[in-house]
Structure 1
């Protein structure tokens, strides 16, 4: 596979939408060994003045010599049009993309369509569910958002692509990211799960930390999994939460993320909006952008609400973030088993252990502290719920716990009248009992 990248415009001032000037457009070809086989810089004409809303184009496109259907599945980001963009304090460029021209609508089954109206939320859902503290994203700390009719998309840069260990890996989990047993692998988990029924969604609040990730090709995440199918090649998952991934983002910030696959992470699905599929409807939240503020050890705790549920009318899977912010939806046609109900829901943490130094990684899960330390020290999920066939939120029953390597990362569960079902989880990785 060969990747063509071309980036047109850069922000020339901290203030959003102002003093944007033209820069050279750098185009090139990168092969699967990261060799830049061809490179040229094309000087473009001066286009923008202050406060312009003229649509501009940004392109990062993969090509493949395989069949057209496979080539579409392997297309990672796509061409889209933005009307303005903002520079985030962490260095991200957030493009405000016309809603009907976002990457999702590159999919053949979505071409020419527009985002759907919001669905009915599950019964028993309280969008004012008060977190310990509210969380936002760094790029919106100055109370800005993209204009109505657009969605914010974190710009993919040349460096983002070049950091990937291969073009095939860019924007994807290549290995299995869901656990059904305690067999050793490079992905390690501490999760709570329910199965044995039909599930139409899940909800939880997760406190956000900044775990240390010690290798560029490792990550640490905390998320909700909605799962169906076997754990073979037909596995369907929808995932959302927060993650620290130096390979994907180039830094150590915790970031709001999504993921989906319909074939066990082989050829379908991706993180965030790096392929066509997820349809974003929100102009205030950028998927893949850094979350701020974060929890601190023995200090203030900040958490995010995540709810995923199946719209009873159209069958699509919708995502809500924080206090009632609808983010968008995964169309049901993306999936096979998840066109119906989910067969398992998981809550918890996952890390990658590459053993790049010859022993277990010191990458932290959650806060980097074990579950036994409790509130203010360990990471938590609270108010764990599932959505039933009647689109009602219910507390969990028959909750199971799984820690692949409890001496490295562990988990414990409880219930009370304030937090409902909850879990503490996490750990430091390498220590005297984790080698």
Structure 2
């Protein structure tokens, strides 16, 4: 009986992956009405292009006039005064030592230069993309707030269990979720990995800034449903009340850089145990002191990718109350959880573990401050996390190690 049960489980798992592969490839028969609706969505999403360019990975980007990008379809941004040369007003000069080895997004273009000045690179959306994205689960915070309402300290563990039941797992370090907190941003330098994820699974690392139901995030992920492949790609995400969106798939995020594609694949990913093949990427979210816009800054040079305008939010129209760093993973019900990070439990060694180092938090003045942080893992049998607030040395400062094999090797 035990053997039969094992065979049945293996058969169901194979069938799931086969069906997921078919779904992720967009091989779904559509009715005429559904097909017409998808065509309508594509016309809204794909703006007229000044020129079209490809990346070395085959992705197609339309160079869209700054003022015609998808962000400005947001009803709150119809009468904006934004312009392509916008810069954030920050009270500090952010400095980081050059990471051991970094990824450069600007090297992915076939034309070696990106889009013309005055335009921004918007990834061409296809019908297959829209079909796949129908299979995406709601973001974790959407499920969280639908079930429980706004966060409170006494119910945090209950909410974590709820997220786990919905297929989400995290191995994170977070600040205390105190409504009196007034955070103006945060940052990290994350090692880049390629955990195995298939079908509707995804796995990645993120910096998350939050107040109530409003969330902004930046990080990397392997997500076949979102991207249609298993490459490690950058992502941004926001949630404003009931509205939520990845990258530029809906209005909200104003892109200003003409060379950095938001969802670009990382050219190199880390190799466990090989110090010459550990690759990192610095990421920051900072609140503009003058107008409250939330900026995404990337790489050791702090390039301004773009921003979420203050007035698309309710709670994040002021300051954040909670920050998280670390790993997240998702798998549908009855499907094994995917690996996270390096795919191994952390041993607290930089060349072996997925990590986020140079953890920083900004106060309401934009000043770097010391905060108390707490590690959390939904299931230590699948994923673990270690928080080293005093770091290893000056280069690493506050560092966290996270990751695990998921439930693949668990019976």
Structure 1 residues not aligned, in runs of 5+? 1-32, 42-58, 63-74, 230-234
Q: Does 1:314 align with 2:267?
A: no
Aligned to 2:341: 366
The Cα of 1:355 is off from its aligned counterpart by: 3.9
Tell me what 1:296 maps to: 271
CA separation of 1:388/1:248 partners in 2, compared to 1, >3 Å: closer, same or farther?
A: same
Cα gap change, 1:108/1:123 in structure 2, threshold over 3 Å: closer, same or farther? Answer: same
2:32 to 31, 37, 45: 37
SS at match of 2:193: coil
2:94 aligns to what?
125
Q: In the alignment, what sits opposite 2:48?
A: 81
Task: Pick closer, same or farther for the CA change 1:77–1:133 going to 2, 3 Å.
Answer: farther
Equivalent of 1:218 in 194, 198, 201? 201
Higher helix share: 2
Classify 1:259/1:40 alpha carbon distance in 2 versus 1 (closer, same or farther; 3 Å). Answer: closer
Change (3 A) 1:80 1:163: same
Alignment partner of 1:136 out of 99, 104, 108: 104
1:134 counterpart SS class: coil
- Cα deviations by residue, 1:62-99 (Å, 9 ceiling, x for unpaired): 4xxxxxxxxxxxx9963522111112232210111111
RMSD: 2.7
Match 2:253 to one of 270, 273, 278: 278
With over 3 angstroms needed to count, the CA separation of the structure-2 counterparts of 1:172 and 1:190, relative to structure 1, is closer
Greater mean alpha carbon deviation, residues 193-202 or residues 203-212: 193-202
* TM-score, normalised relative to structure 1: 0.76
Which residue number in structure 1 is paired with residue 378 of structure 2? Answer: 404
Q: For 1:5-62, what per-residue CA distance to the aligned partner results, in whole angstroms no more than 9, with x for missing partners?
A: xxxxxxxxxxxxxxxxxxxxxxxxxxxx862316999xxxxxxxxxxxxxxxxx9644
Contact 2:54 2:110 in 1 (8 A): no
Note the 1:31-430 alignment, pairs <5 A.
35-37=30-32, 61-62=40-41, 78-111=45-78, 113=80, 115-116=82-83, 117-123=86-92, 125-126=94-95, 129-137=97-105, 139-140=108-109, 143-166=112-135, 169=136, 175-176=143-144, 180-181=156-157, 182-183=160-161, 184-185=164-165, 186-195=167-176, 196=178, 197-214=181-198, 216-229=199-212, 235-263=213-241, 267-299=242-274, 300-322=277-299, 323-357=301-335, 360-361=336-337, 363-372=338-347, 374-394=349-369, 396-414=370-388, 415=391, 416-430=393-407
| Distance (whole Å) between structure 2 residues aligned to residue 352 and residue 221 of structure 1 | 9
Question: Which structure has the highest strand share of the two?
Answer: 1
In structure 1, C-alpha distance between the alignment counterparts of 2:405 and 2:75, rounded to whole Å: 44
User: For the Cα contact (< 8 Å) 1:95–1:152, is it kept in 2?
Assistant: yes
- Partners of 1:60 and 1:106 in 2: how far apart? 18
In the other structure, the counterpart of 2:6 is: none
Query: Hey, what's the Cα distance between the residues in 2 that align with 1:421 and 1:76?
Result: 46
TM-score by length of 2: 0.80
Q: Aligned-pair distance for 1:291?
A: 1.4
- What CA distance in whole angstroms lies between the structure 2 residues aligned with 1:373 and 1:390? 33
Structure with larger RCO (C-alpha < 8 A, sep 6+): 2
* CA displacement, residues 385-426 of structure 1 (integer Å, 9 cap, x when unaligned): 0111211123x4211000001110100121132211100101
Q: Deviations over 1:201-249 (max 9, x none)?
A: 00110011111003x11111201000101xxxxx111011111110011
| Residues 370/171 of structure 1: CA separation in 2 closer, same or farther (3 Å cut) | same
